[in-house]
């Protein structure tokens, strides 16, 4: 069972029910549960959307798009049914925050989905969890069944005539790419998880061709709290244009890894050295991958930056999914870069050529380089391939593979050169064992 | 939907599949969950599973196979009763994921995607399973095991062996 951690600097909004038994619906109601939904039914869609806009909440999946604005893009009138889709396909390496939400507060996800439905005029919500999260799907399904039993879901919810909302839970079966919004819709329609071209955007043509709001599980779990505390109060917890708090998962070489809820804009240095207890075993910090594996790496001298979308962008990286991966001095960046690209090569759905071929050639080159057969030209080649993947694919997976690769080479080029010269920074224990090539070829 | 004669699934699963085919705006939406639940019961997605699911959802077997080949949790060959999946992605790698995988290889005497001769365990190196802050982590079937060491992994494997001798 994942352990819950705590630090005095935390501001617990979303995580305030963690560890308090809120999977039980009666306990959840005691802890202010389902108040926000009742309020939302009474106040109506414009009030909901205005509150969400005022909160400054931005998408927690990684892209950081303002949630209130996303909801406002859905046409008021639509011939086709509208849908709410909750993305719980959490698969970005370094990210395990939604895991804790499903485990500790499943009703907050249901409430968020209902409120989103009320805001856009949808009567059906889907909650999609990655296939590996079966025990969390069971928790989620029980929560949905309990909500139906209380009359909170179904027809005439909370006794309001004509207010209907249904929730269907869904499992994936192992595919990183399905975490991308359009691929997720394909998967939910029973197809291979390949991305769709946009426009049209999901707000206009989404699931089953109907207007669809798709939100990350963490984003949606914030919604009921925001309605209860007010949009402005939530916004004030964070920084300008970056409202509220966020679940940061700090992993890797720290003393106290864990998921911490910190205000947006909190110092990355403090997050590592104070909240997570500093580098394990008194070692030196070497680098940080600040928001899941697709974010460009920061060197140890670049961590005096605030954890919000804009400050991270200014620092040349991304806040991403909030998964902060900490590397100490013993890590070989060549190895780390290879392990990272090996993941993206495995997960590329193969739909777009720059991604399919690019990830494969970078993996092949770095595998040979790592094994001692590298040349100086390889370093330039890898950079060249990655640069040519950027912005040339249907979905962001191509960028997600290229950006960290470029980061490793730009920030740590001397280490790649020293590696070539035989001054290898080998970690004696870590060794890359490639997946069998034949099996890879058949994987996707 | 054509009535399913002689279903290959247990009555409980067959009833569940009957319902799954009705809850979505489009029946085909049940495909991915159905494949996974079928695999849970049969052990893998056999030809018979493909045929019956195709029939249940009014799809061609080709459609089912096309989707089947995309998802990494779905397999077309039997695995061990307990499928040990060790994560070696970045957060787990930094805290000993590869050492753990190596340890499992030696202890079980099998490699990636292989099964022990008694059919009890199979081993798989997997990508991120969403347990990064409790690394290194592994899953045995759907059970998560966090914050592992080789010694803790031995205890985990023993606990599954013990289930068999009971």
Residue-wise pLDDT tens digits, A175-221: 999 999 999 999 999 999 999 999 999 999 999 999 999 999 999 99
Identify the residue among A83, A173, A253, A277 best suited for mutation to test binding to B, counting B beta carbons within 10 A and taking the highest: A173
Smallest Cβ–Cβ distance between B74 and the set A173, A293, A343 belongs to A173
Q: How far apart are CA A356 and CA A346, in angstroms?
A: 9
Q: How far apart are CA A20 and CA B153, in angstroms?
A: 30
pLDDT at A9: 98
Cα–Cα distances (Å) from A173 to A275, B70, B72, B107, in that order, read: 35, 9, 7, 28
> Does pLDDT of A432 surpass 80?
no
Q: Do residues B109 and B157 both lie within one domain?
A: yes
Which CATH fold topology does A245-328 show?
Ubiquitin-like (UB roll) (3.10.20)
pLDDT at A287: 98
Let me know if residue B73 belongs to a domain: no
Q: Do residues B63 and B87 both lie within one domain?
A: no
Dihedral sign of CA atoms A372, A378, A382, A383 in order: positive
Q: Please, which pLDDT band fits residue A10 given cuts at 50, 70 and 90?
A: very high
pLDDT at B5: 78
> Does pLDDT of A428 surpass 50?
no
Q: What is the mean pLDDT of chain A?
A: 94
Q: Do residues B152 and B112 both lie within one domain?
A: yes
pLDDT at A53: 98
- Find, among A194, A186, A241, A234, the residue nearest to A214 by Cα: A186
Q: Quick check: B127 and A176 CB within 8 A?
A: yes
* Kind plus residue range of the DSSP H or E element containing A54: helix A45-55
Q: A139 — alpha (psi -120 to 50), left (phi > 0) or beta? A: alpha
The shortest C-alpha distance from A240 to chain B (Å) reads: 29
pLDDT at A66: 98
Let me know if residue B1 belongs to a domain: no
Class of domain A25-236: alpha beta
pLDDT at A423: 73
Q: How far is CA A375 from the centre of its chain?
A: 36
Smallest Cβ–Cβ distance between B90 and the set A174, A339, A442 belongs to A339
Give the pLDDT confidence of A296-333 residue by residue, as tens digits: 999 999 999 999 999 999 999 999 999 999 999 999 99
Smallest Cβ–Cβ distance between B98 and the set A95, A340, A431 belongs to A431
Let me know if residue B152 belongs to a domain: yes
pLDDT at B4: 80
Q: Please, which pLDDT band fits residue A422 given cuts at 50, 70 and 90?
A: confident
Backbone angles phi, psi at A283, to 5 degrees: -80, 175
So where are chain A's domains?
25-236, 245-328, 333-443
The shortest C-alpha distance from B40 to chain A (Å) reads: 11
Q: Where in the sequence is the domain holding B59, given as residue range(s)?
A: 11-68
pLDDT at A431: 55
Give the pLDDT confidence of B118-128 residue by residue, as tens digits: 999 999 999 99
Q: Quick check: helix, strand or coil at residue A295? A: coil
Q: Are B59 and B52 in contact (CB under 8 A)?
A: no
Share of chain A above pLDDT 70, in %: 95
Q: Do residues B43 and B17 both lie within one domain?
A: yes
Q: How far is CA A295 from the centre of its chain?
A: 12
Structure tokens at B143: 């059970």
The shortest C-alpha distance from A31 to chain B (Å) reads: 27
- Find, among A125, A112, A123, the residue nearest to A220 by Cα: A112
* Mean pLDDT to the nearest integer, A279-293: 97
Domain of B118, CATH number, reads 3.40.30.10
* Mean pLDDT to the nearest integer, B76-92: 97
pLDDT at A297: 98
pLDDT at B165: 81
| Residues in chain A within 8 Å Cβ distance of B53 | none
Q: What is the mean pLDDT of chain B?
A: 96
* Residue B155 CB burial class (10 angstroms; 0-12, 13-18, ≥19): exposed
Q: What is the pTM of this model?
A: 0.95
Give the pLDDT confidence of A267-282 residue by residue, as tens digits: 999 999 999 999 999 9
Identify the residue among A78, A251, A289, A333 best suited for mutation to test binding to B, counting B beta carbons within 10 A and taking the highest: A251
pLDDT at A427: 57
Let me know if residue B149 belongs to a domain: yes
Q: How far is CA B45 from the centre of its chain?
A: 10
pLDDT at A439: 36
Q: Do residues B40 and B93 both lie within one domain?
A: no
Let me know if residue B95 belongs to a domain: yes
Residue A415: HSE in the Cβ half-sphere, 13 Å Cα cutoff: 21
Q: Quick check: A173 and B127 CB within 8 A?
A: no
> Does pLDDT of A430 surpass 90?
no
Q: Beta partners for A328?
A: A285
Q: What architecture is the A333-443 domain classified under in CATH?
A: Up-down Bundle (1.20)
Backbone angles phi, psi at A188, to 5 degrees: -70, -20
* Mean pLDDT to the nearest integer, B130-147: 98
CB pairs A-B closer than 8 Å: 173
Let me know if residue B115 belongs to a domain: yes
- Buried/exposed A83-113: b ≥16 CB within 10 Å, e otherwise: bbbbbbbbbbbbbbbbbbbbbbbbbbbbbbb
Let me know if residue B110 belongs to a domain: yes
> Does pLDDT of B1 surpass 70?
no
The shortest C-alpha distance from A215 to chain B (Å) reads: 18
| Residues in chain A within 8 Å Cβ distance of B129 | 132
- Sequence-distant (6+) residues with CB within 8 A of A112 are A86, A215, A219, A220, A221, A222, A223, A224
> Does pLDDT of B60 surpass 70?
yes
Q: Are B118 and B164 in contact (CB under 8 A)?
A: no
Let me know if residue B138 belongs to a domain: yes
> Does pLDDT of A119 surpass 50?
yes
Q: How far apart are CA A405 and CA A363, in angstroms?
A: 10
Give the pLDDT confidence of A132-151 residue by residue, as tens digits: 999 999 999 999 999 999 99
The shortest C-alpha distance from A98 to chain B (Å) reads: 9
Q: Please, which pLDDT band fits residue A425 given cuts at 50, 70 and 90?
A: low
């Amino acid at each position: 069972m994942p352990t819950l951690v705590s630090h005095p600097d935390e501001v617990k909004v979303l995580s305030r029910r963690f560890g308090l038994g809120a999977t039980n619906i009666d306990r959840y109601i005691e802890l202010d549960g389902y108040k926000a939904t009742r309020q939302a039914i009474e106040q109506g869609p414009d009030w909901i959307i205005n509150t969400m806009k005022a909160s400054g909440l931005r998408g927690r999946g990684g892209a950081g798009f303002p949630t209130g604005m996303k909801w406002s893009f859905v046409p008021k009138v639509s011939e086709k049914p509208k849908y709410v889709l909750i993305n719980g396909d959490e698969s970005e390496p370094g990210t395990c925050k939604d895991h804790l939400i499903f485990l500790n507060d499943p009703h907050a996800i249901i409430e968020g989905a209902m409120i989103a439905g009320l805001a856009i005029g949808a009567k059906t919500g889907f909650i999609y969890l990655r296939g590996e999260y079966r025990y969390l799907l069971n928790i989620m399904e029980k929560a949905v069944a309990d909500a139906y039993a209380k009359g909170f879901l179904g027809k005439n919810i909370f006794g309001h005539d004509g207010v209907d909302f249904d929730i269907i839970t869904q499992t994936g079966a192992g595919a990183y790419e399905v975490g991308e919004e359009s691929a997720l819709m394909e998967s939910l329609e029973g197809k291979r998880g390949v991305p769709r071209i946009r426009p049209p955007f999901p707000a206009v043509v989404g699931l089953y061709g109907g207007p669809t709001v798709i939100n990350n599980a963490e984003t949606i779990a914030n919604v009921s709290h925001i309605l209860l505390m007010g949009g402005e109060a939530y916004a004030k917890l964070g920084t300008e244009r970056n409202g509220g708090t966020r679940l940061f998962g700090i992993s890797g070489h720290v003393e106290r890894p864990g998921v911490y809820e910190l205000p947006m804009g909190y110092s990355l240095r403090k997050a590592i050295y104070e909240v997570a207890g500093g580098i394990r075993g008194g070692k030196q910090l070497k680098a940080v991958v600040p928001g899941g594996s697709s974010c460009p790496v920061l060197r140890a001298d670049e961590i005096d930056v605030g954890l919000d979308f804009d400050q991270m962008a200014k620092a040349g990286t991304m806040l991403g999914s909030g998964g902060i991966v900490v590397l100490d001095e013993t890590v070989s960046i060549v190895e780390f870069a290879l392990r990272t690209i090996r993941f993206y090569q495995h997960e590329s759905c193969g739909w777009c050529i720059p991604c399919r071929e690019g990830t494969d050639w970078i993996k092949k080159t770095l595998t040979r380089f790592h094994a001692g057969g590298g040349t100086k030209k390889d370093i330039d080649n890898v950079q060249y391939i990655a640069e040519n993947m950027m912005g040339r694919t249907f979905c962001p997976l191509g960028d997600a593979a290229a950006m960290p690769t470029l980061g490793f080479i730009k920030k740590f080029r001397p280490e790649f050169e020293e590696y070539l010269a035989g001054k290898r920074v080998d970690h004696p224990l870590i060794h890359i064992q490639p997946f069998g090539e034949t099996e890879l070829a058949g994987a996707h | 939907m054509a009535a399913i004669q002689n279903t290959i699934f247990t009555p409980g699963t067959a009833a569940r599949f009957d319902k799954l085919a009705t809850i979505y705006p489009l029946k085909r939406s049940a495909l991915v969950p159905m494949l996974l639940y079928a695999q849970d019961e049969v052990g893998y997605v056999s030809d018979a599973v493909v045929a019956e699911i195709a029939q249940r959802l009014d799809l061609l077997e080709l459609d089912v196979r096309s989707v089947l080949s995309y998802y990494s949790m779905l397999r077309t060959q039997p695995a061990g009763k307990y499928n040990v999946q060790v994560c070696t992605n970045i957060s787990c790698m930094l805290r000993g994921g590869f050492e753990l995988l190596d340890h499992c290889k030696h202890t079980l005497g099998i490699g990636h995607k292989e099964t022990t001769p008694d059919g009890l365990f199979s081993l798989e190196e997997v990508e991120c399973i969403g347990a990064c802050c409790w690394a290194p982590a592994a899953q045995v079937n759907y059970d998560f095991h966090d914050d592992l060491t080789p010694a803790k992994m031995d205890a985990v494997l023993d606990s599954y062996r013990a289930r068999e001798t009971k």
